[in-house]
Structure 1
Amino acid sequence: MKSSLSTGKSLFLLLLSSLLVLNAFAQDSRKIINLNKDWSFQKGTNSTVERINLPHTWNAFDVMDDTPGYYRGIGTYKKKLVLKPEWKNKKLYLYFEGANQVTEVFVNGKKLGSHIGGYTGFRIPLSGLKFNGTDEVSVKVDNSYNENIAPLTADFTFFGGLYRNVSLMVLATAHFDDNQYGSKGVFVRGENVSQTNAEVLVNGNLVNHGVAKKIIVTSVLTNANGKKINEVKFLTSAKANQTIAFQLPKIQVVNPILWSPDHPYLYQTTTKLIDYQTGKVVDEVKTTVGLRFFSFDVAKGFFLNSKPCKLIGASRHQDFAGMGNAVPVDLQVKDVELLKDMGGNFLRVAHYPQDQAILDACDRLGILASVEIPIVNEITESVAFTANCKVMQLEMIKQNYNHPSVIIWAYMNEVLLRMRHADNAERKQQYLNNIEKLAQELEDLTRKTDPTRYTLMSNHGDVNGYIKAGLVKIPMLVGWNLYQGWYGGKSEDFGPNLDKIHQQIPDKPILVTEFGADVDPRIHAFAPVRFDKSLEYGMLYHQIYIKDILKRPFIVGAAVWNLADFNSETREETMPHVNNKGLLTLDREPKNTFFLYKASLQTKPFLKIGDGSWKLRSGVANVNENKVIQLVQVISNTDTVELFANGQSLGRKAVVESTSNWNFPFKDGVNQIKAVAISKGIKIEDNAIINFVVQPFNFKDGQEFKQLNILLGSQRQFIDQQKQEVWLPNKTYENGSWGSIGGEIFKPKGNSRQSYGSDKNIKGTTNDPIYQTQLIGLDAYQLAVPKGKYEVTLHFSELVGTGASNLPYNLDSLIATNKEVPEQRIFDVFLNDKQVIEGLNLSATYGVANAVQKKFECVVTDDKGIKLVFKNIKGKAVLNALQIKQIK
Structure 2
Amino acid sequence: MLQVNPLIRSLILFFAAFWVINADAQDAGRKTISLNDQWEFHKENGSVEKVNIPHTWNDQDVLDDVSGYYRGLGIYKRKLNLDESAKGKAVFLVFNGVAQEAEVLVNGKLAGKHIGSYTRFIVPISPYLNYSDDVIEVRANNRFNEDIAPLTADFTFFGGMYRNVTLLITNPVHFSQRENGSSGVFITTPQVSATTASVQIKSSIDKPSTGVKKVQLLTTVFDARGRAVASQTTALNLVNGNAIYVQDIKSIKNPELWSPENPYLYRVVSKIIDVKTKAIIDQVSNPLGFRWFKFDADKGFFLNDKPLKLIGASRHQDYENLGNATPDALQTRDIELLKNMGGNFLRVAHYPQDPLILEACDRLGILASVEIPVVNTITESEAFTANCLNMQTEMIKQNFNHPSIIIWAYMNEVLLRPKFSNDKPRQQIYYEHIRELAQKLDDLTRKEDPSRYTLLVNHGAFDVYNKVGLTKIPMIVGWNLYSGWYSGAPADFAKFLDRHHKELADKPMLVTEYGADADPRIRSFLPVRFDKSIEYAIQFNQVYLNAMLSRPFVSGGMAWNLADFNSETREETMPHINNKGLLTIGREPKDTYFLYQAYLASKPYLKITSAQWKERGGVADSAYASCSQPLQVATNLLSVELFLNGKSLGVKTAIDHICQWDVPFVDGNNQIKAVSGENSDQIDVNFQLQPYRFADQIQFKNINVLLGSKRFYIDEKEHQLWMPDQPYRTGSWGWIGGEPFKGTNNRITYGSDKNILGTDNDPIYQTQQVGIKQFKFDVPDGEYELSLHFAELVGGETKEALAYNLDNNHKKEVVEQRIFDVAINGVSFMSKLNMAKDFGYTTAVKKKTTITVQNGKGIAIDFNAIEGKPVLNAIQLRKIY
Separation of aligned partners in 2, 1:383 and 1:619 = 62
Quick check: 2:744–2:811 contact (8 Å CA) kept in 1?
no
Separation of aligned partners in 1, 2:576 and 2:119 = 25
Please give the secondary structure, in 1, of the residue aligned with 2:771: strand
Please give the secondary structure, in 2, of the residue aligned with 1:248: strand
Quick check: 1:99–1:164 contact (8 Å CA) kept in 2?
yes
Alignment partner of 2:787 out of 786, 789, 793: 793
Q: Judging changes above 3 Å, is the alpha-carbon distance between structure 1 residues 672 and 515 closer, same or farther for their aligned structure 2 residues?
A: same
Q: Which residue in 2 is equivalent to 1:737?
A: 732
Answer with 163-172 or 872-881: which moved more: 872-881
Structure 2 residue 154 is the aligned partner of structure 1 residue 155: yes
Structure 2 residue 90 is the aligned partner of structure 1 residue 88: no
Q: What residue ranges of structure 1 are gaps of 5+ in the alignment?
A: 1-24, 806-816
Please give the secondary structure, in 2, of the residue aligned with 1:596: helix
Report the CA distance between 1:204 and its aligned residue: 2.2
Please give the secondary structure, in 2, of the residue aligned with 1:104: strand
Quick check: 1:232–1:251 contact (8 Å CA) kept in 2?
no
Quick check: 1:372–1:411 contact (8 Å CA) kept in 2?
yes
Q: Which residue in 2 is equivalent to 1:238?
A: 238
Q: Which residue in 2 is equivalent to 1:642?
A: 641
Quick check: 2:295–2:555 contact (8 Å CA) kept in 1?
yes
Separation of aligned partners in 1, 2:878 and 2:798 = 34
Separation of aligned partners in 2, 1:86 and 1:226 = 32
Structure 2 residue 762 is the aligned partner of structure 1 residue 768: yes
Separation of aligned partners in 1, 2:412 and 2:687 = 45
Report the CA distance between 1:211 and its aligned residue: 4.6
Q: Judging changes above 3 Å, is the alpha-carbon distance between structure 1 residues 285 and 28 closer, same or farther for their aligned structure 2 residues?
A: closer
Superimposed CA distance per residue, residues 771-820 of structure 1 (whole angstroms, 9 cap, x where no aligned partner): 00001111111101121111111111000013479xxxxxxxxxxx9964
Number of residue pairs matched by the alignment? 846
Alignment partner of 2:688 out of 690, 693, 707: 693
Separation of aligned partners in 2, 1:196 and 1:358 = 30
Separation of aligned partners in 2, 1:245 and 1:57 = 38
Q: Which residue in 1 is equivalent to 2:485?
A: 486
Superimposed CA distance per residue, residues 665-699 of structure 1 (whole angstroms, 9 cap, x where no aligned partner): 10011100000012xxxx01000100111111111
Quick check: 1:803–1:847 contact (8 Å CA) kept in 2?
no
User: Structure 2: which amino acid aligns with 1:593?
Assistant: T
Q: Which residue in 2 is equivalent to 1:756?
A: 750
Matches within 5 A, 1:319-358: 319-358=318-357
Q: Which residue in 2 is equivalent to 1:305?
A: 304
Report the CA distance between 1:142 and its aligned residue: 0.4
User: Structure 2: which amino acid aligns with 1:741?
Assistant: I
Superimposed CA distance per residue, residues 407-453 of structure 1 (whole angstroms, 9 cap, x where no aligned partner): 00000000100101111111100000000000000010000000000
Structure 2 residue 707 is the aligned partner of structure 1 residue 712: yes
Separation of aligned partners in 2, 1:109 and 1:821 = 58
Matches within 5 A, 1:106-121: 106-121=105-120
Quick check: 2:231–2:249 contact (8 Å CA) kept in 1?
no
Separation of aligned partners in 1, 2:421 and 2:396 = 34
Please give the secondary structure, in 2, of the residue aligned with 1:393: helix
Please give the secondary structure, in 2, of the residue aligned with 1:541: helix
Q: What residue ranges of structure 2 are gaps of 5+ in the alignment?
A: 1-24, 800-809
Structure 2 residue 195 is the aligned partner of structure 1 residue 201: no
Quick check: 1:524–1:536 contact (8 Å CA) kept in 2?
yes
Separation of aligned partners in 2, 1:709 and 1:788 = 18
Report the CA distance between 1:398 and its aligned residue: 0.3
Separation of aligned partners in 1, 2:406 and 2:32 = 29
Superimposed CA distance per residue, residues 39-72 of structure 1 (whole angstroms, 9 cap, x where no aligned partner): 1110221x21111100001111111111111111
Quick check: 2:791–2:873 contact (8 Å CA) kept in 1?
yes
User: Structure 2: which amino acid aligns with 1:247?
Assistant: V
Q: Judging changes above 3 Å, is the alpha-carbon distance between structure 1 residues 755 and 222 closer, same or farther for their aligned structure 2 residues?
A: same
Q: Which residue in 2 is equivalent to 1:22?
A: none
Separation of aligned partners in 2, 1:540 and 1:838 = 45
Answer with 857-866 or 664-673: which moved more: 857-866
Separation of aligned partners in 2, 1:190 and 1:130 = 41
Report the CA distance between 1:127 and its aligned residue: 3.6
Report the CA distance between 1:734 and its aligned residue: 1.1
Superimposed CA distance per residue, residues 217-261 of structure 1 (whole angstroms, 9 cap, x where no aligned partner): 110111110111111121112223x11111113242111111011
Separation of aligned partners in 2, 1:703 and 1:531 = 35
Quick check: 1:802–1:820 contact (8 Å CA) kept in 2?
no
Report the CA distance between 1:756 and its aligned residue: 2.5
User: Structure 2: which amino acid aligns with 1:529?
Assistant: V
Q: Which residue in 2 is equivalent to 1:361?
A: 360
Report the CA distance between 1:131 and its aligned residue: 4.1
Matches within 5 A, 1:248-647: 248-647=247-646
Separation of aligned partners in 1, 2:576 and 2:746 = 19
Quick check: 2:744–2:794 contact (8 Å CA) kept in 1?
no
Q: Which residue in 2 is equivalent to 1:14?
A: none
User: Structure 2: which amino acid aligns with 1:767?
Assistant: N
Please give the secondary structure, in 1, of the residue aligned with 2:98: coil
Q: Which residue in 1 is equivalent to 2:7?
A: none
Separation of aligned partners in 1, 2:89 and 2:242 = 17
Report the CA distance between 1:839 and its aligned residue: 1.0
Q: Which residue in 2 is equivalent to 1:812?
A: none
Answer with 511-520 or 183-192: which moved more: 183-192
Report the CA distance between 1:751 and its aligned residue: 2.5
Q: Judging changes above 3 Å, is the alpha-carbon distance between structure 1 residues 868 and 318 closer, same or farther for their aligned structure 2 residues?
A: same
Please give the secondary structure, in 1, of the residue aligned with 2:592: helix
Structure 2 residue 169 is the aligned partner of structure 1 residue 170: yes
Alignment partner of 1:725 out of 713, 720, 726: 720
Separation of aligned partners in 2, 1:764 and 1:189 = 56
Please give the secondary structure, in 2, of the residue aligned with 1:249: strand
Quick check: 2:745–2:812 contact (8 Å CA) kept in 1?
no
User: Structure 2: which amino acid aligns with 1:739?
Assistant: G
Answer with 88-97 or 277-286: which moved more: 277-286
Report the CA distance between 1:367 and its aligned residue: 0.6
Report the CA distance between 1:755 and its aligned residue: 2.5
Superimposed CA distance per residue, residues 535-584 of structure 1 (whole angstroms, 9 cap, x where no aligned partner): 11000001111100000000011100011100100000101111100000
Report the CA distance between 1:612 and its aligned residue: 3.6
Superimposed CA distance per residue, residues 112-138 of structure 1 (whole angstroms, 9 cap, x where no aligned partner): 111000000000110444545421100
Report the CA distance between 1:315 and its aligned residue: 0.5
Separation of aligned partners in 2, 1:128 and 1:216 = 28
Q: Which residue in 2 is equivalent to 1:61?
A: 60
Quick check: 1:713–1:756 contact (8 Å CA) kept in 2?
no
Separation of aligned partners in 2, 1:128 and 1:49 = 29
Quick check: 1:220–1:232 contact (8 Å CA) kept in 2?
yes
Q: Judging changes above 3 Å, is the alpha-carbon distance between structure 1 residues 399 and 551 closer, same or farther for their aligned structure 2 residues?
A: same
Q: Judging changes above 3 Å, is the alpha-carbon distance between structure 1 residues 133 and 707 closer, same or farther for their aligned structure 2 residues?
A: farther
Quick check: 1:204–1:245 contact (8 Å CA) kept in 2?
yes
Quick check: 2:623–2:696 contact (8 Å CA) kept in 1?
no
Please give the secondary structure, in 2, of the residue aligned with 1:435: helix
Quick check: 2:625–2:698 contact (8 Å CA) kept in 1?
no
Quick check: 2:521–2:612 contact (8 Å CA) kept in 1?
no
User: Structure 2: which amino acid aligns with 1:30?
Assistant: R
Q: CA RMSD in A?
A: 1.5
Structure 2 residue 842 is the aligned partner of structure 1 residue 839: no
- TM-score of the superposed pair, with normalisation by structure 2: 0.95
Please give the secondary structure, in 2, of the residue aligned with 1:491: coil
Q: Judging changes above 3 Å, is the alpha-carbon distance between structure 1 residues 730 and 505 closer, same or farther for their aligned structure 2 residues?
A: same
Quick check: 2:75–2:137 contact (8 Å CA) kept in 1?
yes
Separation of aligned partners in 2, 1:862 and 1:673 = 42
Q: Which residue in 1 is equivalent to 2:187?
A: 188
Matches within 5 A, 1:134-145: 134-145=133-144
In percent, how many aligned pairs have the same letter? 53
Please give the secondary structure, in 2, of the residue aligned with 1:844: helix
Quick check: 1:231–1:251 contact (8 Å CA) kept in 2?
no
Report the CA distance between 1:189 and its aligned residue: 2.0
Quick check: 1:27–1:280 contact (8 Å CA) kept in 2?
no
Separation of aligned partners in 2, 1:488 and 1:879 = 30
Q: Which residue in 1 is equivalent to 2:214?
A: 214
